């Protein structure tokens, strides 16, 4: 049962309702063109594996479109190896090409090593991982000649990010919580979030009922983040007031136009260290690696 | 000790720090002029009674300024009578005139009666109370010839309201969470919130250490509101991440200019039923009273 709508659906109607919601989001937010080459970021967790299954299914109706997948191996002991296998297995199952890129080969160090080097720094493991992973995904998508990079952010993720930005004192960043990012530079592959209107528990239920294999071990670093406190709190409030995750998401849509005017369109230029497109002279990944004395 | 700053203050320095923070907010947000007649909304709770003490103290340095107080008697059995006595006692103590206005005399019904009549309606007791109290305060301030109406909203209240607006799906309303409201109509007395940068627990500690008498019974209707869930959640997060209430407040200051552009300045006109200034043809209080068949 869906507490926020009162619906009770049978298995088949539930599947269709999730798939329809993804299709609706894709067309409403103009995520895809008929002939797009789509790269799905597949971590191996329930959200990304489910997205892979739904997208390859939808794509069958569009002969000119094309789906492939990428997994980033951050180098997290006891976590990523298993996930990599699961990701590869799912890609074989749906018949798409699977690319793996690793922090080790891109940056010279695994995340575990970076975290060990960063002990004294103020940044959390998730800060390093987020910045370096985003870069890795963009490079992989570009090298695969993809038009779009699909990530599996669900409704819960988006509601959490909105709250996180406000609580972090960075409300203007809310403008970036968008189902489909604008084209800002030819070498920045446009990111899309086809699951943005599906609540996390429905993604989980879909994966479970479809018997989709996924990795369920949580990341060992996840607990350190403010985000997990926000997740808990939103789930508690959602339980007592069903539908608030949707209203948070819709709420921000109303102010996004104003926020986008506020955020002057920053000029994208080439990073002076690595040449990747960035705002400012030196990109975030290079700043981080320099902070760790990996780059000088 | 203040977990968000690490300060440990003695009693005297703590008092001064609170009073300084109120003074700073007053000047930073241009809340008061030297010759303002200020009406303080005093419910009898710790926040409003503390505000009354601090403001009358600050006002001593400004001979042309003037402070008085107003209490709204909503008509809540087992709650308001005691609060009224406490409010009156505090006003005598600081030597200011005390005005009491009641729902019964303004609208013909006590809140308890309105809540009983509204059983079938969707609105919560707090919705009725909020709208009708705001109107009552404005009328009282105007009749007392006040230039400003000071309310005791503290930092926690402001952070909660921000979250509430987002969760309710009404993010554009965040623009109205302001320390000092703009002048929009000569018959709408400008509201100011001198405690907006003082956390609730510090207001409570100030009142306790100063031995200020206040009513501590919570409103019997308070539990029904989403706000109390948000309060709990913010307190939980604040405990683990000290300072988040400040960052939420500051966060919104960064996007307020954009939100204010979004919210077109609505034209204020006279309500067709009661003549009070309002946006649209019929004001919110009249709409509510009509919904209850009190007005036809």
Most B CBs within 10 A among A4, A169, A177, A263, hence the mutation to make, goes to A169
**For residues A3 and A10, is the Cβ–Cβ distance under 8 A?**
no
- Chain A: nearest CA to B86, how far in angstroms? 35
ipTM of the prediction: 0.79
What is the pLDDT at residue B268? Answer: 87
What is the pLDDT at residue A132? Answer: 96
- The residues of chain A scoring below 50 in pLDDT are none
Q: Does A254 touch chain B (CB under 8 A)?
A: yes
Q: Does A94 touch chain B (CB under 8 A)?
A: no
Structure tokens at A207: 């994966």
B149 CB contacts (<8 Å, ≥6 apart)?
B38, B39, B41, B137, B138, B141, B189, B190, B191, B192
Q: Does B244 touch chain A (CB under 8 A)?
A: yes
What is the pLDDT at residue A101? Answer: 97
For residue A73, report the phi and psi dihedrals to the nearest 5 degrees: -95, 95
* B166 vs A172, A233, A248: nearest CB: A248
Instruction: Tell me which DSSP letter residue A188 carries.
Output: S
What is the pLDDT at residue B45? Answer: 94
What tens digit of pLDDT does each residue of B18-60 get? Answer: 999 999 999 999 999 999 999 999 999 999 999 999 999 999 9
Single out the residue of B34, B75, B52, B99 nearest to residue B207, CA to CA.
B52
Count of pairs with CB atoms under 8 A, one residue in A, one in B = 92
More confident residue, B49 or B172: B49
- Chain A: nearest CA to B212, how far in angstroms? 33
Nearest chain B Cα to A227, which residue?
B237
What is the pLDDT at residue A223? Answer: 64
130-189 of A, contacting B, C-beta below 8 A: 162-163, 165-172, 174
Q: How far apart (Å, rounded) are the C-alpha atoms in residues B118 and B104? A: 16
Asked whether residue B6 carries a pLDDT value surpassing 90, the answer given is no
What SS3 state is found at B98? strand
- Chain A: nearest CA to B97, how far in angstroms? 41
Nearest chain A Cα to B251, which residue?
A169
Q: In the structure, how many helices (H) and strands (E) does chain A have?
A: 11, 7
Q: Do B251 and A162 touch (CB under 8 A)?
A: no
Chain A residues closer than 8 Å to B172 by CB:
254-255
Q: How far apart (Å, rounded) are the C-alpha atoms in residues A206 and A200? A: 10
pLDDT band at B181 (very low <50, low <70, confident <90, very high): confident
What tens digit of pLDDT does each residue of B89-101 get? Answer: 999 999 999 999 9
Q: Does B225 touch chain A (CB under 8 A)?
A: no
Q: Do B167 and A244 touch (CB under 8 A)?
A: yes
**For residues A208 and A215, is the Cβ–Cβ distance under 8 A?**
no
What is the pLDDT at residue A127? Answer: 87
What is the pLDDT at residue B264? Answer: 65
Q: Does B239 touch chain A (CB under 8 A)?
A: no
Q: How far apart (Å, rounded) are the C-alpha atoms in residues B217 and B129? A: 17
B6 CB contacts (<8 Å, ≥6 apart)?
none
Q: Do A171 and B251 touch (CB under 8 A)?
A: yes
pLDDT band at B177 (very low <50, low <70, confident <90, very high): confident
- Chain A: nearest CA to B226, how far in angstroms? 8
- Chain A: nearest CA to B144, how far in angstroms? 38
Chain B residues closer than 8 Å to A223 by CB:
none
Tell me the pLDDT of chain B averaged across its residues: 91
């Amino acid at each position: 049962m869906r507490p926020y709508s009162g619906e009770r659906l049978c298995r088949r109607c539930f599947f269709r309702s999730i798939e329809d919601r993804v299709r609706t989001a894709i067309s409403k937010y103009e995520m895809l063109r008929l002939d797009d080459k789509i790269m799905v970021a597949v971590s191996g967790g329930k959200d990304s594996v489910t997205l892979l299954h739904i997208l390859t299914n939808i794509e069958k109706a569009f002969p000119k479109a094309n789906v492939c997948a990428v997994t980033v191996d951050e180098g997290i002991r006891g976590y990523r190896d298993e996930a990599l296998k699961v990701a590869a297995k799912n890609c074989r199952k749906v018949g798409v090409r699977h690319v793996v890129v690793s922090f080790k080969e891109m940056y010279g160090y695994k995340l575990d090593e970076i975290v060990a080097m960063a002990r004294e720094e103020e940044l959390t493991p998730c800060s390093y991982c987020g910045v370096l992973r985003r870069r890795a995904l963009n490079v992989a998508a570009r090298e695969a000649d993809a038009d779009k990079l699909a990530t599996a952010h669900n409704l819960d993720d988006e509601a959490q990010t909105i709250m996180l930005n406000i609580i972090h004192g960075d409300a203007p960043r809310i403008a970036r919580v968008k189902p489909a990012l604008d084209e800002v530079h030819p070498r920045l592959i446009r990111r899309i979030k086809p699951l943005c209107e599906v609540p996390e528990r429905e993604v989980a239920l879909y994966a479970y009922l479809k018997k989709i294999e996924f990795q369920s071990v949580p990341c060992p670093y996840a607990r350190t983040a403010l985000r997990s406190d926000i997740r808990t709190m939103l789930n508690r409030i959602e339980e007592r007031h069903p539908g608030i995750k949707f209203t948070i998401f819709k709420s921000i849509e109303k102010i996004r136009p104003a926020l986008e005017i506020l955020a002057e369109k920053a000029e994208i230029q080439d990073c002076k260290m690595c040449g990747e497109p960035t705002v400012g002279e030196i990109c975030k990944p290079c700043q981080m690696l320099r902070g760790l004395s990996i780059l000088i």
